[in-house]
Amino acid sequence: MSGAALLGAAARAVLEVGALLRAWRADPAAVGGVWEGSQFKAGADAMAHEALSGRLLAAAPGIPVLSEEDPWPLGADRPGRYWLIDPIDGTASYAHGFPGYVTQAALVQDRAPVLAAVYAPEFDVLYTAARGEGARANGRALPPLAPAPVGTGALTDNTPEPRGIAARAYERFGFTGYLECGGISLKLCRIAEGRARLFVKDVPVRDWDVAAPGLLLAEVGGAVRTLSGAPFDYTGPFEHTGLVGAADEAACAAVAAWYAAAAPERRTDARPGRPVPTPRARSRTGPRANGAT
């Protein structure tokens, strides 16, 4: 299959799975689950994995699928080309009635995402990207992001106001704007759209969280890096410590340098997990309508 055909297949798959996710929200078995550390796991995670991986395998039988729900064996070399999917990014948002979740797939080739499809069902926005060919939202080309000093525009995170490392970055770089948003992917998509300029987190982050939205962001001039400032290279372990997503690479470098220079006791967000957000905190219009991770 050509790259265009594969991107079309991925786009159709996430659209169809997104429709299923909306329907499954009425099923207690789908939205029920438990916290595993800082992540909420719901019944719908496994259901969405089967639905999304099955569609991709049917469209391109020769391309294996690696998923949050079924990753490659630890320590094994990854295939040269594979789908890397996150059936639900923002499961807590999904399970607790908030709109800030997506379903997504990236085609990774030679250790880099080359195609991406991200669908936000509650906003009915399909984001797509192909390496070197730009990014789109519902078919509309996203314009390049203009570089700007860190502190310009809005910082984004999943709480009603900046907390932890987000609060420290907000203060350090002099932000005046803030966008409450949902899961990791949706926040990176909001940066690609120009609605925010920076997202920083110091919790574990996995490759499937960032592969698809990271390509989207790169295609408009932004960047996603680990909290050390290194790029995600899609080799070795899937898990990394933290991330910086920004509207330009210089902002990523500035935030990583600030983090590295900070005293250890200020670098650590002491909250090992987080409580389930209450609907009241997310029921307002505007930025707070975007949900929680």
CATH code at position 9: 3.30.540.10
Same domain, 189 and 99: no
Mean pLDDT of 265-269: 46
Boundary residue ending a domain (96, 113, 141): 141
The answer to whether residue 149 sits within a structural domain is no
240/210 Cα distance (integer angstroms): 11
Output the CA–CA distances (angstroms, integers) from residue 95 to 12, 19, 161, 188, 213, in the order listed: 23, 15, 22, 21, 22
104 lies in the same domain as 50: yes
The pTM of this model reads 0.87
Is residue 120 within 8 Å of residue 138, measured between CB atoms?
Answer: no
Q: In this model, does residue 265 exceed pLDDT 60?
A: no
pLDDT band per the 50, 70, 90 thresholds, residue 133: very high
Q: Is 70 annotated as a binding residue?
A: no
Residues 160 and 118 occupy one common structural domain: no
In-domain check, residue 40 = yes
Q: Say yes or no: 228 and 269 in one domain.
A: yes
Q: Is the model more confident about 11 or about 265?
A: 11
Which of 76, 110, 141 is a domain's end point?
141
Instruction: Indicate whether 183 belongs to any domain.
Output: yes
The pLDDT value given to residue 36: 64
Residue 210 lies in a domain: yes
Do the annotations mark residue 89 as ligand-binding? yes
CA distance 136 to 28: 34
Q: Tell me, yes or no, whether 169 and 269 share the same domain.
A: yes
Over the stretch 177-235, which tens digit does the pLDDT of each residue have? 999 998 999 999 999 999 999 999 999 999 999 999 999 999 999 999 999 999 999 98
58 and 137 both lie in a single domain: yes
Give mean pLDDT, residues 70-86.
80
Confidence at residue 106, expressed as pLDDT on a 0 to 100 scale: 98
Which residues neighbour 27 within 8 Å (Cβ) at sequence distance 6 or greater?
43
Q: Answer whether residue 178 is part of any domain.
A: yes
Q: State yes or no: 209 annotated in a binding site.
A: yes
Q: For residue range 13-36, list pLDDT tens digits in order.
A: 999 999 999 999 887 876 776 666
Claim to verify: residue 137 and residue 166 sit in the same structural domain: no
Res. 284: pLDDT tops 90:
no
H or E segment and range at residue 167: helix 164-172
Average pLDDT for the chain: 86
In this structure, the chain runs to a length of 293
Rounded Cα–Cα distance for residues 232 and 238 (Å): 10
If asked whether residues 55 and 168 sit together in one domain, one would say no
102 and 227 inside one domain: no
Note whether residue 146 is domain-resident: no
Q: Known binder of ligand: residue 88?
A: yes
Confidence (pLDDT) at 69:
72
What is the pLDDT, as a whole number, of residue 37?
60
Residue 238: CATH number of its domain: 3.40.190.80
Does position 267 have pLDDT exceeding 60, yes or no? Answer: no
User: Which of 205, 210, 226, 242 shows the shortest CA–CA distance to 39?
Assistant: 205
In a domain, 96, yes or no: yes
Q: Half-sphere exposure of 96 toward its Cβ, with a 13 Å CA cutoff? A: 25
Sequence letter at residue 170: Y
One domain for residues 60 and 160: no
* Domains of the chain: total: 2
Per the structure, the complete domain to which residue 16 belongs is given by: 3-141
What's the confidence (pLDDT) of residue 86?
Answer: 95
182 plus 114 within the same structural domain: no
**Tokens (6 digits) for 70:** 């079924």
In a domain, 147, yes or no: no
Given pLDDT bands bounded at 50, 70 and 90, which one contains residue 44?
Answer: confident
264 pLDDT band, cuts 50/70/90, is low
What pLDDT is stored for residue 38 in this prediction? Answer: 59
Residue 129 confidence class, pLDDT cut points 50, 70, 90: very high
Flag whether pLDDT at 153 surpasses 70: yes
Same structural domain, 128 and 23: yes
H or E element at residue 170: helix 164-172
Of 239, 203, 204, 209, which Cα lies nearest the Cα of 224? Answer: 209
